[in-house]
Amino acid sequence: MNKYYNDAIIGNKEITASFTKKGELIRLFYPNTDYRQFIDFFHTGVQINDSSIIYLHNDVNNQYKQNYIKDTNILNTEILNTYFNLRILQTDFVCIDKNILVKKYKMKNESNIDLNINFIVHSGLLTDDNNQTSGYYKDNTLFQYVHDYTFAICSDTKVEKSQINNNSANIETGIIGDKDYIGMSSDSSISYKFKSLKPNEEIEFSIFITVSHGSDIKNTENKMNTIKNIDSKRELEKTKKYWERYVKDHDTIKLPSSNTTYMKKVEQIYKRTILIFPLLTNDLTGGISAAVEIDEERTKCGRYSYCWPRDRDIYNKCIGYFRHDKSNRKVLQNFL
């Protein structure tokens, strides 16, 4: 699958991650936004009662709503499966002071029957003949490692089953599991089984993703034991306050207050611009990528994850226009 569009971006100084408008995680860069991209695909889904897998990012019965929490780089994707009337709120953010991407889930049964839910994570990393991916499962954590990097997935919920090899043979059934504990496989999966969810009942859980550099796998294993105990609600609040303060500190233009739909949209775009620049900036070199890569295979363009000096000039001119006359509607229209 060619991944041409990023609909939303989150991150911190080390991790940059992008998503589709349906909440699918499609890219994860580490340790900088202009360095290595790890993900071939990262699919999550649920098996409900005796169903096959229902992918959260792609099902004919799914309805979607997506938004950032105001003045933050925290992404909410609401998914309603109308067949089972299961409502899922997926909240994605990257911790500010930890190298962790958090995927927080709240699932509510809005049907009139009990729902038995099996939640599945199917993770595939980029690999080739000279840079092969291997994986293994240990202590409720899925480890995938490739060329001195370890990609690890764990949760505050106990893993029910895992599968390292040959996932394509059975992943669509929603039932995984094998006896392998290690293998040269670019994609592997884990699942979490929850108690029967009665009508109007809710459950919450979080999945944690981290990337480590270095060949000492034991250090990564020890780190994952700590990550499992992270308070995701507390980390969410810390991240929210950080970005709210970031917007406040960098709002140097101070657009005039207005209740018009037009000016509200201008303010929204302006604040989103403030929030996206730190996600595209290499904190060590100061280079700003023109965009999160959209065409790694160069099927439609010559790649775009570069730092272009001309883009900085355009940005400075736009900011200059704003400062010259904040109320000039024509200038604002040209900017948009």
Give the residue carrying structure tokens 């909410």: 76
pLDDT band of 196, cuts 50, 70, 90: very high
Same domain, 219 and 256: no
Q: Which residue has the higher pLDDT, 223 or 16?
A: 16
Nearest to 287 by CA among 298, 295, 277, 274: 277
Mark residue 159 as left, alpha or beta (left: phi above 0; alpha: psi -120 to 50; beta: remaining). beta
Inform me whether the pLDDT recorded for 184 exceeds 90.
no
d(CA 206, CA 89): 11
Say how far apart CA 242 and CA 125 lie, in whole Å.
31
pLDDT of 169 > 80? The answer is yes
Q: Please tell me whether residues 255 and 171 are part of one structural domain.
A: no
Q: What is the CA radius of gyration of the chain?
A: 21
d(CA 287, CA 277): 11
**Which tokens hold the place of 74?**
């925290």
pLDDT in the model for residue 321: 47
pLDDT value, residue 310: 58
At 329, is the pLDDT very low, low, confident or very high (cuts 50, 70, 90)? very low
Q: What is the share, in percent, of the chain residues with pLDDT greater than 90?
A: 65
Kindly report the three-state secondary structure assignment for every residue of the chain.
CCCCCCCEEEECCCCEEEECCCCCEEEEEECCCCCEECEEEEEEEEEECCCCCEECCECCCEEEEEEECCCCCCEEEEEEECCCCEEEEEEEEECCCCCCEEEEEEEEECCCCCECEEEEEEEEECCECCECCEEEEECCEEEEEECCEEEEEEECCCCCEEECCCHHHCHHHCCCCCCCCEECCCEEEEEEECCCECCCCEEEEEEEEEEEECCCHHHHHHHHHHHCCCCHHHHHHHHHHHHHHHHHHHCCCCCCCCCCHHHHHHHHHHHHHHHHHHHHECCCCCCECCCCCCCCCCCCCCCCCCCCHHHHHHHHHHHHHHHHCCCCHHHHHHHC
What's the average model confidence in pLDDT over 135-157?
A: 93
- Could you tell me if 93 and 168 lie in one domain? yes
* pLDDT band, very low/low/confident/very high, at 5 (cuts 50, 70, 90): confident
| Cα 34–Cα 206–Cα 79 angle in degrees, nearest 5 | 85
Same domain membership, residue 189 and residue 261: no
* Tens-place pLDDT, residues 206-264: 999 999 988 677 788 888 989 999 999 999 999 999 999 999 999 988 888 878 888 88
256, 160: one domain: no
Residue 53: domain span: 8-231
Is 95 contained in some domain?
yes
- Mean pLDDT rounded to a whole number for the chain: 88
Instruction: List 207's β-bridge partners, or say none.
Output: 103, 155
Residue 330 reports pLDDT greater than 70: no
pLDDT digits 0-9 by tens, 85-125: 999 999 999 999 999 999 999 999 999 999 999 999 999 99
Q: Indicate which CATH number applies to the domain containing 109.
A: 2.70.98.10
Q: What band does 336 get if pLDDT is binned at 50, 70 and 90? A: very low
pLDDT at 25 over 60: yes
The residue out of 203, 231, 259 marking a domain boundary is: 231
Q: Do 292 and 9 touch, CB atoms closer than 8 A?
A: yes
| Residue 23 token pair | 């909440």
Instruction: Establish if 240 belongs to a structural domain.
Output: no
116 exposed, middle or buried (CB, 10 Å; 0-12, 13-18, 19+)? middle
Inside any domain, residue 122: yes
Distance, CA of 90 to CA of 103 (rounded, Å):
7
Domain count, the chain: 2
Question: For the residues 252-279, what does the mean pLDDT come to?
Answer: 89
So what's the pLDDT on residue 308?
65
**pLDDT for 263:** 87
**Quick one: 199 and 264 in the same domain?**
no
Residue 335 has pLDDT above 50, yes or no: no
Encode pLDDT of 43-71 as tens digits.
999 999 999 999 999 999 999 999 999 99
Residues 37 and 138 in one domain: yes
Same structural domain for residues 277 and 308?
A: yes
Q: How many other β-carbons are positioned within 10 Å of the β-carbon of residue 193?
A: 15
